[in-house]
């Protein structure tokens, strides 16, 4: 009874208690102390009066909204987590069928051992990610162990994230120790607070094997250029044999090299030189073979790479009035983009009738100015639709530049000032790092001419001028697009080379400054896309990645619409077609085609827009991923070190593992979880029945006594 009273809580002031008690007592006295039909026997009067007082008192008490606290318990037994490597490196080589069968049997029998002893288990398989076995298949023996990559660190941390607050007695991980994705499991894995036991799979013996360790080449090359392709090989057991490596381009043999293996374990690298003679995707395949073909594993003897051959680089021409640190800073920043080539010329050279280099975008530094007249070729470029970036400080005569190109009217003086920059939060022409505002706070000031700047409505401001701590609305770094669609940019100050140096001093790299310059160049040299049907498609992806497309459709006013159906068909190298339909998401279309087998694919997409069929075509390549074939010998040494680090043990191979050792080295205990819940007392039905029962009893007694 005492426990029940302590579990009831009432949050009501004293006057409500007094009022409820007075109401219950007053009504009871009114009936049984002053009523004309009250019972004649004294003991019955007092008994019924007390019963009436209890009933009315209980009802008044319930009006105070009392709460009752209930305590429930849940017992969480100890659980053992079983994690299995789902990659092919465990069974490749000799006796692959028996190795695969052994793994399937192990997955099926391991939980039975613990379940028979009353211990709960939960099984997972991992490759690139951790997955519950129950979510993949109901039959463990149906696993193919064909995940293309192994992420041991990801599996360890995935278990920790799922069960860090659970009653886990142990984690048992079965793997060959060959990790080729994610962090190094030995130095970066975060273990949960439970011993980890490791079981070694795969074969630790070194077999005769020739493998291509790496195929190194650029992702992009340019038409007419020669580019290197480096192949790195590792040979084990080929001492005294010749090894031939052949390179093929789009299925045609291009070159080959023969090298002699001088030792039992040997490595070799060779660079092929390939000429980019055709625009498009270039499929490069390198195959290496020994003169005696008796390898145990041949799937790692070849590698494939895809290189995009582009027609040309973006040509950036910097025209300056004189040598200046800004020019070197801009040149180095632009050259950090491998898709750009930069050339610097001096205005005096162009004024001497020197030929103007070819260019896609022109950058003027401290031009025009009173000392150096503007070259005729530069004036023609400004008058035409050439993208321009004007940079200059106090020496520039801004009045010589047409307002429709710069987007500003600059009322200058003969004085100069030092200005900083502040970010315009509404700028949207291109994205930049969110830390730019903080970086600008420690950047040295630029040298600018003192004057008033009036910005046209067509000007989009990236940075405003900042005079000390005073922020202004005058542009410092801005972009303009005139009525003819010509794009220009202005930087109203020189000395930006100091920004690049400060970026390196603070961050250890030039990325902040270089990204700002390259994004400006990219925006200025790009053209407005007025196509009403557009598709973003992949160019190259690995076989474990999903093929995804994004489509956009625009109405006649170039507003996005999703009112039409968009179809897409993919064809493989054999001509087999696969048809898909896009689904709508917000104001665009999306399509997930899933994973495709390695090869070259072409796609065609179409939609009907304003009774007109609009079509787009393209191609992409799915590259074969052979990460699981690059090593043949299992690394059980890593498993021993990981088990020691986590407080567990290395149990040996699957055939050697003694699971009773796990039981001897873990603590099985149940954890009791207590949950406190508070409910309104009026919700308990038994109170209603007790009150109705008491009222019924009072009524029956009074009826038998002749009352009502």
Give the single-character DSSP code of 629: G
Q: Is 327 helix (H, G, I), strand (E, B) or coil?
A: helix
CA–CA distance, 358 with 538 (Å, rounded to integer): 32
Residues 6+ apart with CB under 8 A from 239: 261, 262, 263, 264, 266
Among the listed residues 621, 496, 646, 585, the one whose alpha carbon sits nearest the alpha carbon of residue 155: 646
Burial class, 91, CB count within 10 angstroms (exposed 0-12 / middle 13-18 / buried 19+): buried
Among the listed residues 507, 523, 512, 525, the one whose alpha carbon sits nearest the alpha carbon of residue 333: 512
Write out pLDDT tens, residues 605-664.
999 988 889 999 888 888 877 666 665 678 888 899 999 998 899 998 888 888 999 998
Q: In the beta sheet, which residues pair with residue 233?
A: 212, 268
Alpha helices in 311-452 (DSSP H): 325-335, 347-351, 376-383, 403-406, 436-441
CA–CA distance, 543 with 547 (Å, rounded to integer): 9
Residue 339: both structure tokens together: 């898709």
- Please give the pLDDT value at position 335: 92
Give the residue ranges of the chain where pLDDT is below 70: 1-6, 35-40, 92-94, 135-144, 146, 188, 293, 296, 528-530, 626-632, 705-708
CA 488 to chain centre: 34
DSSP 231-297: EEEEEES-TT-EEEEEEEETTEEEEEEEEE--SSEEEEEEEEEEE--SSEEEEEEEEEEESS---S-
CA distances from 284 to 212, 223, 231, 297, 675 (A): 14, 16, 11, 22, 64
Q: Angle formed by the axes of helices 685-704 and 42-63, to 10°?
A: 150
Helix (DSSP H) and strand (DSSP E) numbers for the chain: 17, 36
Burial class, 150, CB count within 10 angstroms (exposed 0-12 / middle 13-18 / buried 19+): buried
- Please give the pLDDT value at position 529: 63
CA distances from 403 to 26, 376, 383, 385 (A): 94, 19, 12, 14
Strand ranges, E, within 373-458: 388-391, 408-423, 446-455
Angle at 688 between CA 686 and CA 690, to 5 degrees: 70
**How much is the pTM?**
0.54
**Which helix (H) or strand (E) segment is 228 a member of?**
strand 226-236
- Please give the pLDDT value at position 141: 45
With beta carbons less than 8 A apart as the criterion, state whether 365 and 318 touch. Answer: yes
């Amino acid at each position: 009874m005492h426990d029940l009273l302590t579990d009831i809580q009432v949050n009501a002031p004293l006057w409500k208690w007094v009022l409820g008690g007075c109401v219950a007592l007053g009504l009871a006295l009114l009936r049984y102390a002053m009523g004309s039909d009250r019972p004649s026997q004294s003991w019955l009067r007092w008994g019924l009066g007390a019963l009436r007082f209890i009933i009315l008192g209980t009802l008044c008490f319930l009006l105070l909204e009392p709460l009752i606290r209930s305590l429930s318990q849940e017992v969480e037994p100890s659980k053992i987590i079983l994690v299995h490597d789902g990659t092919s490196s465990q069974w490749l080589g000799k006796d692959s069928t028996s190795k695969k069968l052994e793994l399937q049997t192990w997955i099926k029998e391991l939980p039975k051992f613990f379940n028979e002893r009353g211990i709960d288990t939960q099984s997972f398989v991992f490759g690139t990610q951790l997955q519950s076995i129950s979510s993949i298949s109901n039959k463990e023996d149906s696993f193919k162990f064909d995940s293309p990559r192994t992420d041991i660190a990801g599996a360890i941390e995935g278990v920790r994230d799922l069960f860090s607050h659970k009653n886990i007695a142990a984690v048992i991980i079965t793997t060959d120790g060959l990790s080729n994705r994610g962090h190094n499991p030995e130095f970066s894995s975060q273990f949960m607070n439970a011993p980890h036991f490791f079981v070694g799979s795969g074969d630790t013996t070194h077999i005769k094997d020739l493998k291509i360790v790496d195929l190194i080449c650029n992702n992009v090359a340019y038409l007419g250029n020669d580019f290197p392709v480096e192949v790195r090989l590792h040979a084990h057991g080929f001492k005294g044999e010749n090894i031939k490596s052949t390179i093929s381009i789009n299925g045609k043999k291009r070159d080959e090299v023969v090298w002699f293996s001088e030792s039992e374990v040997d490595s070799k690298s060779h660079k092929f030189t390939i000429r980019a003679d055709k625009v498009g995707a270039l499929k490069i395949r390198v195959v290496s073979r020994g003169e005696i073909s008796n390898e145990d594993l041949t799937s790692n003897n070849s590698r494939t790479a895809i290189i995009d051959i582009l027609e040309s680089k973006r040509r950036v021409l910097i025209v300056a009035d004189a040598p200046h640190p800004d020019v070197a800073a801009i040149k180095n920043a632009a050259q950090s983009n491998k898709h750009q080539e930069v050339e610097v010329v001096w205005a005096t050279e162009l004024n001497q009738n020197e030929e103007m280099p070819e260019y896609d975008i022109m950058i003027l530094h401290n031009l025009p100015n009173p000392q150096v007249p503007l070259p005729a070729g530069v004036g023609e470029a400004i008058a035409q639709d050439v993208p321009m970036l004007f940079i200059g400080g106090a020496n520039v005569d801004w009045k010589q530049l047409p307002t429709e190109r710069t987007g500003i009217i600059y009322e200058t003086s003969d004085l100069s000032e030092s200005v900083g920059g502040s970010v315009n939060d509404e700028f949207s022409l291109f994205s930049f790092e969110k830390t730019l505002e903080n970086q600008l706070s420690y950047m040295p000031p630029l040298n600018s001419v003192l004057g008033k700047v009036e910005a046209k409505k067509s000007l989009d401001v990236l940075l405003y001028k900042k005079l000390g701590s005073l922020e202004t609305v005058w542009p410092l770094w801005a972009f303009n697009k005139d009525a003819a669609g010509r794009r220009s940019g202005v930087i109203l100050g020189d000395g930006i080379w100091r920004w690049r140096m400060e970026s390196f001093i603070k961050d250890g790299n030039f990325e902040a400054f270089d990204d700002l310059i390259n994004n400006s160049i990219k925006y200025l040299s790009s053209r407005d896309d007025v196509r009403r049907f557009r598709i973003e498609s992949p160019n190259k992806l690995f076989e474990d990645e999903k093929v995804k497309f994004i489509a956009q459709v625009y109405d006649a006013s170039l507003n996005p619409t999703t009112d039409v159906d968009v179809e897409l068909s993919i064809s493989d190298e054999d001509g087999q077609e696969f048809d898909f339909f896009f689904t709508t998401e917000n104001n665009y279309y999306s399509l997930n085609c899933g994973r495709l087998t390695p090869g070259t694919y072409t796609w065609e997409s179409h939609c009907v827009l304003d009774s007109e069929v609009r079509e787009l075509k393209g191609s992409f390549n799915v590259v074969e991923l052979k990460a699981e074939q690059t090593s043949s010998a299992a690394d059980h040494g890593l498993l021993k070190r990981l088990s020691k680090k986590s407080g567990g043990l290395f149990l040996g191979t699957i055939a050697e593992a003694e699971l009773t050792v796990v039981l001897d080295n873990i603590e099985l205990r149940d954890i009791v979880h207590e949950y406190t819940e508070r409910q309104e007392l009026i919700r308990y039905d038994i109170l209603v029945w007790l009150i109705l029962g008491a009222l019924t009893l009072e009524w029956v007694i009074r009826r038998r006594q002749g009352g009502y």
